């Protein structure tokens, strides 16, 4: 069996793009490593936030679909995104986020790790988790956050499922997840030597969740290369998943499918990476399109709202209030 290498990226749905940029680059201090468009809906931005180099496993991405209604909580959705911060930093983050008026919950402990739950400006549930799983990380010197306190990457996500047993059978049988523990009605699955967990809770009653502003769109899992991707895709199909063919996203290749409970998943290759079409020192500073959309650049740009960004001051929210 071929096992995936942990998380590649998580994509969520946001409201207005500028507000999304203000929060994730200006408040959380993540680097906007790619300013592009949703390749299936080119009139919408696709914004990628990550570490300085955009390593797979560090990037949280957004489709700003401000016209959508708020998401509906229910089973069949990923209901929270967790981001990793270095141990000993949650007090710093709580103070910083309070000064920006972020909606916070008290610090708690999950599976032995301190966690600060919060809600972003568009309703997405986010958790900052003190942990240090194995990962590649490069601090960004343009961040308003000191290097020793910066978000290191994706920690994981929470899933609500109507029937946990069928979802677990799929995750373990098709992707190679391992059961890591149980706590307070949640069961954790992940990988012993890779960053990226899912905490699953059974919600046998109530309505199915629905995508909207403030919801997770999909979770993407890393594979090494084309051969690894084809092998995992075959496992997904054998386990009953309805997988797409391989789709070239230019910076990586993707295959999409839903697990039995309805959460959209992806397997994405490690490369070629975000620096394949931009100078690494200037990632995210201009609108980048894959080659097949370049002929439509003028039309696409006319549909997109202007975003205020600049090197070293990634959003209008300058760090004047940071502790």
pLDDT in tens, 152-169: 999 999 999 999 999 999
pLDDT in tens, 98-157: 999 999 999 999 999 999 999 999 999 999 999 987 788 999 999 999 999 999 999 999
Say how many C-beta atoms besides its own lie within 10 A of residue 209's C-beta.
Answer: 22
Q: In whole angstroms, how large is the CA radius of gyration of the chain?
A: 19
- Give the count of alpha carbons within 13 A of 74, CB side only: 13
pTM of the model: 0.95
pLDDT at site 316: 45
pLDDT at site 2: 97
User: What are residue 13's phi and psi, to 5 degrees?
Assistant: -105, 130
Q: Which residues contact 93 (CB under 8 A, 6 or more apart)?
A: 85, 116, 128, 149
In which residue ranges of the chain is pLDDT below 70? Answer: 310-323
User: What are residue 270's phi and psi, to 5 degrees?
Assistant: -60, -35
Alpha carbons 122 and 215: distance in angstroms, whole number: 9
Q: How far is CA 257 from CA 197, 239, 261, in A?
A: 18, 11, 11
* Residue 290 structure tokens: 């894959």
Domain spanning 7-303: CATH 3.10.180.10: yes
């Amino acid at each position: 069996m071929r096992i995936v290498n942990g998380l590649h990226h998580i994509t969520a749905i946001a409201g207005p793009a500028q507000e999304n940029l203000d929060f994730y680059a200006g408040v959380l201090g993540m680097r906007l490593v790619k300013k592009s468009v949703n390749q299936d809906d080119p009139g919408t931005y696709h914004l990628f936030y990550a570490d300085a180099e955009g390593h797979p496993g560090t990037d949280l991405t957004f489709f700003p679909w401000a016209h959508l209604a708020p998401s509906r909580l229910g089973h069949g959705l990923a209901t929270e995104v967790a981001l990793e911060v270095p141990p000993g930093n949650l007090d710093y983050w709580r103070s910083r986020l309070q000064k920006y008026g972020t909606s916070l919950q008290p610090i708690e402990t999950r599976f032995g790790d301190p966690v600060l739950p919060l809600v972003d400006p568009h309703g997405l549930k986010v958790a900052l988790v003190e942990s240090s799983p194995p990962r590649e990380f490069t601090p960004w010197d343009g961040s308003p956050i000191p290097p020793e306190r910066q978000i290191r990457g994706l920690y994981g996500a929470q899933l609500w499922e109507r029937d946990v047993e069928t979802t677990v059978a799929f995750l373990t049988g098709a992707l190679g997840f391992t059961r890591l523990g149980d706590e307070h009605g949640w069961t954790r699955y992940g990988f012993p030597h890779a960053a990226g967990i899912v905490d699953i809770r059974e919600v046998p009653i109530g309505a199915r969740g629905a995508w909207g502003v403030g919801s997770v769109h999909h979770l993407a899992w890393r594979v090494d290369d084309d051969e690894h991707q084809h092998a995992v895709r075959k496992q997904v199909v054998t386990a009953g998943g309805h997988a797409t063919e391989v789709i070239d996203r230019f910076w990586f290749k993707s295959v999409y499918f839903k697990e039995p409970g309805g959460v959209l998943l992806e397997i994405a290759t490690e490369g070629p990476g975000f620096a394949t079409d931009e100078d690494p020192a200037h990632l995210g500073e201009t609108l980048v399109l894959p080659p097949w959309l370049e002929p439509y650049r003028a039309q696409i740009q006319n549909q997109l709202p202007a975003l205020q960004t600049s090197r070293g001051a990634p959003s209008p929210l300058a760090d004047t209030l940071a502790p």
